Structure formats: C-alpha cells, structure tokens
C-alpha cells in the first residue's frame, strides 16, 4: 500500500487544535445569491482547488511527539452537496448545515452546500479553523469566485495560493532591530484576568450549536458610519463601544468594574504581500481593549475605548505578542507536554469580538449570480465563552453570536442583540445634531 503523504502541523494548526476545548473549530460563511449557481462548474473549481491545497483533504493525527496531517483520498461528494428547498425551510436547513462540526480525522476539512430555492441559490461553507482563519476564508471565497468566472469564460486554470503555512511570515515586513524585538515578544497577553462573563444558562443535556444573527440595516449603518466619520473613529471602535456598553447593561456588571475584551487582529498586516502571500493558514492575533468602567453615555464609553485601542494602534508590534512564547513551548517540549503547558498558561477570553470586515459582492460573484446578502462567523463557542462576530456586506452589518446552548440561551442572546441595537440607535440620535445631512 502506498504510504500517505504527510504535512507538518504548523504552530497555528496545533493551537487551533488546542482550542477544541473552548469551541468547535469551524469557520462558517453563507452567501445568498440572486440567481442559481452552476453546480457543475463549482464542482470542477472545488476539485481543482482542493487538489492544490493538500491540507483541505488531509486528516489530522494527534501524536505525543509531533502531530501531523496525512493527505487522504476523497470524492467531490465528500465536499459538495446540493439541496433543493423552499423558502419556509431554507433558514433552518442552512442552520443545520453550518452548525455541524467536521472531525479532525475526516478525509476532507471543508464542506460546501448549495441550497436551491426558487430562482436563487445559497452558498454555505464550513471549514476547519485549523486549516485557515477568517482572513484566508475571505481570500478563499474571492479566489473561488474568480476561478469560477474564469472557467465560465473557458479558462481551465485554477489559481490559489499554495506557499508556506508557517507562522513566522508575520515578521517579513519588519527589518533589523524591529524584527529582533518582535521575535522576543514573549509576554503572555492572554493572561489578562477578566472574570466577567456573558450570562447564559448552565450547561444542559441537549444543548446544541446555534448561530444567532442580528442585522443592522443599511440606513442605520449609514448614519452610524457618518457619526464615526464625524469624530474620526472607525466602525470597529464604534462597535466595540456599543458592545462593551451593552455588556455592562446586560451582564449587570458594576459600572466601575474594568472590562477587558480581546479584539481579533489580522496579522497579515505584518506580512510582505498581505493576503496573497504564503499559503492558506491562520494569522490571527488579538489586541486587548480595556475600559475602567462604563461611561455615563455612549460617547463617554467611546472615549474610554479609544484611550485603550490607541495604545494598540500606536504599537508597531500589534498582535505579535506571545507568538515567540508559543514557538518556544512547541520547540523545547514534545507536543503532549507543550499542549499541557500552554493550556495551563493560556486563558481563553470569556468574551471576545471579531470584526471580519467587508465582503464585497463584486468579488464574490458566481457568473451572473451576485450575492445580495451574506455573513461569515467564527467557531461555535462552548459556554461560558462567547464572541460577537461582525460582517459588512451591501452596506449592512450582520452580527453573529455562535454558541452551544439551548432555547433559553437563544432568547438571552436575542435580548442582548436588542440592547445592542437600541444602543446603536441611541448613539446615532445623541450625535445626529452634529451631522450635516
């Protein structure tokens, strides 16, 4: 029997594997197209892409010394499925598909399903977070669209990045002393003790994965953005503000408590060549946002948030902390010991935020089919952990909270969304007078 090809498990593969203790390791994307998608072309593009990226059809093998990926045989039916449905069942079927978890030992590490409903299609995809993160997921979707459209025009060549998956690409933009300093950033930034948690029900038998969504409509988002522009602050700062302000209210935290929330940072900002460099992998760090209590108004909270995030924004090593520590642990110890050591030293944040950013419809077309709506979200967190993920598309923001819980948890999350949206509207109405509309 032919020996299977092995791929080295990179630092982030191992870290994401460790995160199985906190969440389901899946990254999700759903795109609603206005027209049907040509499944035959999609099939060809997916096979060609999978062939070029071996880690997508490989099984992960935990080992005491050093874990690895083993390239596996597969068929397109392992990856792609097509379902005809109606508008009544569409959302529940999408939810059922995207909340599944692909085992690490599976022969493929991503799954795509096309839902045909009437004269439109919905593209849904889940992928093991160990293969790549949200940043490369966006890149993957863009390449899928570009390759699909090229194939429609008769070009059979499929292009996708196939370079190194190593974590140390994040040092490629740095030079000289800065590079040396960055490689010595051993500080463990996960060790910020914040014991505030999002109030959810205790674990129950029958808890299941759910992706709760809430949309900020285009009109509200446009006003929200305009207020931000007036003050010279980003949407990320504004969302962090309403999120933290709402958490104090919903969580019942004492108003003078310090609240710290990590905000995910795409480390490709430090990579020469950005998103097109290297191979599909994880390059995500985080910056801590800490406020010393909630502001009397949302504007006051915004000032507190800005004072915290400015420190990170001015830091040329933003997001690069702790990487050398992880590298050291994985280098000097056998895997089994390093995982235990990291587990002891790593404090998974109870509450987080991830701004996935903008999904541009023009970069995601599949032939004549244009995405009219969609979102991406991170892994489904296990209680008491939770994260708010944000995706912007067509001038709207989709907020998602993916958790493993029950109907009572769903109600609590919806209540939180209601508070969050009320705070967004309050912020707009409080500041509308300054806008020249």
Q: Which positions lie near other proteins, rule CB under 8 A? A: 199-202, 231-233, 252, 299-300, 302-303, 306-307, 310, 314, 408, 411-412, 414-415, 418, 434
Q: Where are the beta strands (DSSP E) in 19-165?
A: 26-33, 58-61, 68-71, 80-85, 110-117, 120-128
The distance of closest approach from Cβ of residue 390 to other proteins in the complex, given in angstroms and rounded to an integer, is 21
Closer by beta carbon to other proteins, 164 or else 297: 297
Q: Rounded distance, CA 208 to CA 406, Å? A: 6
Closer by beta carbon to other proteins, 202 or else 206: 202
For the chain, how big is the Rg over CA atoms in Å?
A: 22
Tokens 């209601």 sit at which residue? 418
Closer by beta carbon to other proteins, 156 or else 437: 437
Q: Are 209 and 414 contacting, i.e. CB atoms less than 8 angstroms apart?
A: no
> Which of these, 292, 287, 340, lies nearest to 315 by C-alpha position?
287
The distance of closest approach from Cβ of residue 74 to other proteins in the complex, given in angstroms and rounded to an integer, is 44
Closer by beta carbon to other proteins, 190 or else 201: 201
Task: Say whether 30 sits in a helix, a strand or coil.
Answer: strand
The distance of closest approach from Cβ of residue 336 to other proteins in the complex, given in angstroms and rounded to an integer, is 23
The distance of closest approach from Cβ of residue 249 to other proteins in the complex, given in angstroms and rounded to an integer, is 10
DSSP state of 153: T
The distance of closest approach from Cβ of residue 47 to other proteins in the complex, given in angstroms and rounded to an integer, is 47
**Helix extents (H) in 214-322:** 218-231, 235-251, 298-313
Q: Rounded distance, CA 318 to CA 174, Å? A: 12
Closer by beta carbon to other proteins, 112 or else 386: 386
Q: Rounded distance, CA 117 to CA 11, Å? A: 41
Closer by beta carbon to other proteins, 251 or else 357: 251
Closer by beta carbon to other proteins, 179 or else 310: 310
The distance of closest approach from Cβ of residue 351 to other proteins in the complex, given in angstroms and rounded to an integer, is 14
Q: Rounded distance, CA 17 to CA 128, Å? A: 10
The distance of closest approach from Cβ of residue 415 to other proteins in the complex, given in angstroms and rounded to an integer, is 5
The distance of closest approach from Cβ of residue 427 to other proteins in the complex, given in angstroms and rounded to an integer, is 11
Q: Are 391 and 357 contacting, i.e. CB atoms less than 8 angstroms apart?
A: yes
Q: Rounded distance, CA 165 to CA 168, Å? A: 9
Closer by beta carbon to other proteins, 64 or else 411: 411
């Amino acid at each position: 029997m032919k020996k299977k090809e092995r791929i080295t498990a990179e630092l982030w593969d191992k870290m994401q594997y460790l995160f199985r203790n906190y969440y389901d390791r899946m990254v999700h994307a759903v795109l609603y197209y206005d027209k049907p998608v040509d499944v035959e072309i999609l099939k060809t593009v997916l096979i060609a892409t999978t062939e070029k990226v071996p880690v997508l059809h490989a099984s992960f093998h935990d080992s005491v010394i050093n874990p690895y990926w083993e390239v596996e045989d597969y068929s397109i039916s392992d990856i792609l499925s097509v379902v005809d449905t109606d508008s009544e069942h569409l959302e529940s079927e999408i939810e059922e598909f995207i909340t599944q978890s692909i085992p690490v030992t599976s022969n493929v590490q991503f799954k795509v399903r096309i839902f045909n409903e009437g004269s439109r299609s919905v593209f849904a995809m889940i992928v093991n977070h160990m293969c790549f993160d949200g940043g490369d997921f966006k890149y993957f979707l863009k390449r899928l669209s570009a390759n699909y459209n090229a194939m429609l025009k008769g070009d059979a060549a499929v292009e996708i990045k196939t370079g190194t998956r190593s974590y140390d690409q994040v040092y490629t933009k740095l030079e000289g002393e800065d590079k040396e300093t960055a490689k010595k950033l051993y500080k463990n930034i996960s060790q910020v003790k914040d014991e505030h948690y999002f109030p959810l029900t205790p674990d129950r038998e029958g808890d299941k994965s759910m992706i709760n969504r809430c949309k900020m409509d285009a009109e509200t988002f446009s006003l929200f953005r305009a207020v931000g522009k007036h003050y010279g602050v980003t949407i990320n700062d504004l969302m962090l503000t309403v999120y933290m302000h709402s958490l104090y209210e919903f969580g019942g935290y004492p108003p003078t408590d310090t609240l710290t929330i990590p905000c995910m940072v795409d480390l490709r900002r430090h990579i020469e060549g950005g998103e097109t460099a290297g191979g599909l992998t994880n390059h995500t760090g985080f910056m801590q946002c800490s406020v010393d209590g909630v502001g009397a108004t949302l504007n006051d909270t915004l000032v507190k948030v800005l004072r915290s995030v400015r420190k990170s924004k001015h830091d040329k090593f933003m997001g690069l902390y702790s990487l050398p520590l992880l590298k050291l642990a994985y280098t000097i110890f056998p895997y089994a010991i390093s995982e235990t050591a990291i587990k002891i030293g790593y404090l998974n944040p109870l509450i987080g935020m991830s701004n996935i950013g903008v999904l541009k419809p023009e970069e995601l077309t599949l032939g004549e089919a244009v995405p009219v709506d969609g979102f991406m979200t991170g892994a489904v967190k296990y209680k008491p952990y939770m994260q708010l993920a944000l995706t912007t598309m067509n001038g709207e923001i989709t907020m998602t909270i993916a958790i493993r819980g029950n109907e009572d948890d769903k109600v609590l999350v919806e209540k939180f969304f209601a508070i969050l949206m009320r705070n967004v509207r309050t912020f707009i109405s409080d500041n509308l007078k300054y806008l020249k509309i």
